[in-house]
Amino acid sequence: MRTWLILPFTALIATTAHAAGPEAGKWSVSLLGGIDVPVNGDVHGGATARVADLGALNPALAGLPAELRIRPRGHERIYDNALAYGLEVGYAFDDRREIYGQVRQTRADGGRALVGYAFVPALSAELPIYGSFSEYEALSAQVGYRYYFGTPDTARPFIDGYLGATRTHQISATFDIPAGGISIPNAPFYESGWAATGGANVGVIVPLGETFSMTLSGGVRYVSNLTDDDSALGGLELSSINDTGKRVSVPITLSGRWDF
């Protein structure tokens, strides 16, 4: 039984003398897929705004002032893990060094969270405020440099770093105060726009033939602040809460690679 377990693993990491992988003057094409786990960065910041009359939001509350107390909420609080997929083209200088260009699509379903409270002095109560955000969708274009360790034609670890730009699709938000019968639906929150991107990965490449190999990698990825849209929030003096949007995540990627 032990032999049956060892032999497939040995075949995976030990290949022919002309196995796939970086080689001087060779090009490669890779198909990528994986997940992108948000770990830091705010979808929105915090702010406190006074509303002189809630009647503008719900006529039944006319004459009642309130204070909106919004708290920061991170990407990991609003969004689940994103799916990511893409295409990469690389060129090797030798069996250790290569440069690459990559196009990558990232998507995460929209999410809902408690984002703060509305304090109503006349009621001596804090009413919960909930925010529902539309899906996160981003397209990235980036270039990078990768360095391989170990002996060619076997499983080899590598490191890489990249810079680029990410275009994030517009994001809208619906804010609800259920206890007060108040809803601000589909408020524009972020415009579609480009932001700087950078990151680094560590991984391993496993040759599976003369031209085909698989790679598994993980790392840290950064996308800078998004382009805010204050058209709906400015009237509530909450225009500062979307002066952010930066995202730090951990991408885990599996790819199939063809060398030619």
Cα(112)–Cα(131) distance, integer angstroms: 6
CATH number at residue 201: 2.40.160.20
Tens-place pLDDT, residues 44-64: 999 999 999 999 999 999 999
CA-based radius of gyration for the chain: 24
pLDDT band for position 234 (50/70/90)?
confident
Based on the structure, what is the number of domains in the chain? Answer: 1
**Average pLDDT of span 225-240:** 92
Q: Is 19 within the bounds of a domain?
A: no
Domain span holding position 68: 25-259
Block residue for tokens 């009413």: 127
**Average pLDDT of span 155-165:** 99
Q: Give, as one character, the DSSP assignment of residue 8.
A: H
Q: Is 15 within the bounds of a domain?
A: no
233 pLDDT more than 90: no
The values of phi and psi at residue 229, to 5°, are: -125, 110
What pTM did the predictor assign?
0.88
Q: Is 171 within the bounds of a domain?
A: yes
Q: Is 10 within the bounds of a domain?
A: no
